[in-house]
Amino acid sequence: MLFYNILGILIAAGILFPSFSWLLNPIIAGAVMTFSSLYVVTNALRLRKFNHIEKNHIGK
């Protein structure tokens, strides 16, 4: 996920514009970074719950 955030910042800053003519609105880059963070947090919570269920299953 860090890759998407770094890429979004670079494109929004206009670093890739001279080479590839790619430009991203900073608002869209911020929204993508927000969804990326939400995705990471959601997966972390899902894994935490999965490990909890797995430990209970093995203990029985």
For 3-50, what is each residue's pLDDT tens digit? 767 777 777 788 878 888 877 788 887 888 888 889 889 988 888 777
N-to-C CA span, the chain:
36
**Domains of the chain: total:** 1
Q: Check whether 56 has a pLDDT greater than 60.
A: no
User: What count of Cα atoms within 13 Å lies in the side-chain half-sphere of residue 38?
Assistant: 6
Which residues span the domain enclosing 46? 2-59
**Pairwise pLDDT comparison (59 vs 7), residue with the higher score:** 7
Q: Check whether 60 has a pLDDT greater than 60.
A: no
